[in-house]
Amino acid sequence: MTVQQQARLTLAAIAREAGVSAPTVSKVINGRHDVSVETRAKVLAVLARTGYKSPLQQRRTLADKPAVEVAVDSLDSAYNIAVLNGVMECAVESDIEVLLNLTGIQGASPVNPEQRAQRIVDEGRCGMIVVTSAFGDAPLDAFHRRGIPVVVIDPLNPPSEEVVSIGSTDWAGGKDATTHLLGLGHRRIAYLGGPDNVECNQARLHGYLAALRSHGVSVEDNYIISGPFQTDHGARGLDALLQLDPPPTAIFAGNDTVALGVLAEARRRNIRIPEDLSVVGFDGTSKAEESVPSLTSVAQPLQEIGRAALRTVLRQLRGEVPDSRRVELATHLVVRESTAAPR
């Protein structure tokens, strides 16, 4: 007895199943008018039930993995790389293609968001992950209107209602970092933060303030310095803080990049870390691990954030409504060499 091979689902098979001829099925599929209402209904029912796909469609679904676009401003950032890695991991598991869009490249034609969104629809892409602030609210709206899921990771500004954003527990992380320093015995702790108007920075600052207050440590206004999330800002910030009387014995930096700027400047000045000064960073990028001395840092689960972003896009595609417009994953403090008790 021959094992009946699973017959391929052809138009002819549909015709047989529906009790009509192949040409009739063809007409239904192609939206022709010369088919009676009853016949059409019968055929459509069989098509739906069997999930028939034309050869073209068959090849397409074999060939056309769904694709998601990831917009990142630059690859010169351990933060971005870690997030991208997480997205890629999830993409591999879910069999999704990833299109990389480097928004920060010099000479990149200014993105017309309407066109871009339209193109993404036309090409059958299924979503967009933004790991940068390069897209403001208006562009994101262009996607939203077309029903393309968009997830923003750690947006610099609070995104519009429509967009799902993923980030970390910045407030708790700021509190943890500061509590760690307080626990070591520090009382003169500076916050060398990021840009004033950036959400995550504000949350970290307020976590810092909360920790100080709950330990009854008074907050010195001139111990709080804001600026760009850049190495230079760390170096200049250390310079400014050292001029104070008394100077801080510990610095909580708004992110690892700033903290590494502090370490570099301290080295130039022969300030020993952690003996003379404790430093804590934020992000927990690979740079924190690799620096000398290695950097105590509030680690964000960056890889997991990337994975969660793609998972959220896929969930939205399935029509699920996200529980929340904002997801925050837990940070955790990683203590390394750059912090110790004050002398």
When CB distances are held under 5 to 8 angstroms depending on the partner's kind, the choice from DNA, its own copies, none that residue 23 binds is: DNA
Candidate residues 45, 100, 244, 335; the one interacting with its own copies per rule CB under 8 A: 100
Candidate residues 44, 102, 242, 327; the one interacting with its own copies per rule CB under 8 A: 102
Residue 34 Cβ vs DNA, minimum distance, rounded to whole Å: 4
- Judged by CB under 8 A, does residue 31 bind its own copies? no
The total of other beta-carbon atoms located within 10 Å of residue 168's CB is 28
> Judging by DSSP bridges, how do beta strands 326-329 and 332-334 pair with one another?
unpaired
When CB distances are held under 5 to 8 angstroms depending on the partner's kind, the choice from its own copies, DNA, none that residue 244 binds is: none
- Judged by CB under 8 A, does residue 64 bind its own copies? yes
CB 273 within 8 Å of CB 251: no
- How far apart, in whole angstroms, are the C-alpha atoms of residue 102 and residue 140? 16
- Judged by CB under 8 A, does residue 118 bind its own copies? yes
SS3 state of residue 217? coil
Candidate residues 15, 35, 84, 308; the one interacting with its own copies per rule CB under 8 A: 84
When CB distances are held under 5 to 8 angstroms depending on the partner's kind, the choice from its own copies, DNA, none that residue 161 binds is: none
Q: Residue 157 contacts by C-beta under 8 Å, 6 or more apart in sequence?
A: 133, 136, 137, 197, 198, 199
- Give me the amino acid identity at 115: Q
Nearer to DNA (CB atom), residue 13 or residue 327: 13
Closest CA to 82 of 265, 343, 309, 259: 309
Touching DNA, residues 24-83 (CB under 7 A): 24, 26-27, 29-30, 33-40, 54-55
Residue count, binding to DNA (CB under 7 A): 23
Structure tokens at 45: 């029912």
Q: Stretches 2-10, 21-29, 52-60, 245-253: which one binds its own copies (CB under 8 A)?
A: 52-60
Consecutive H or E run containing 152: strand 150-153
Closest CA to 192 of 226, 156, 243, 235: 226
CB 311 within 8 Å of CB 129: no
Nearer to DNA (CB atom), residue 38 or residue 76: 38
Residue 36 Cβ vs DNA, minimum distance, rounded to whole Å: 3
When CB distances are held under 5 to 8 angstroms depending on the partner's kind, the choice from DNA, its own copies, none that residue 320 binds is: none
Number of residues assigned to the chain: 343
SS3 state of residue 258? helix
SS3 state of residue 89? helix
Interface residues with its own copies (CB under 8 A)? 55-56, 59-60, 62-65, 67, 75-76, 81, 84-85, 88-89, 92-93, 95, 97-100, 102, 105-109, 118-119, 122-123, 267, 286-287, 290-292
Interface residues with DNA (CB under 7 A)? 8, 10-12, 20-24, 26-27, 29-30, 33-40, 54-55
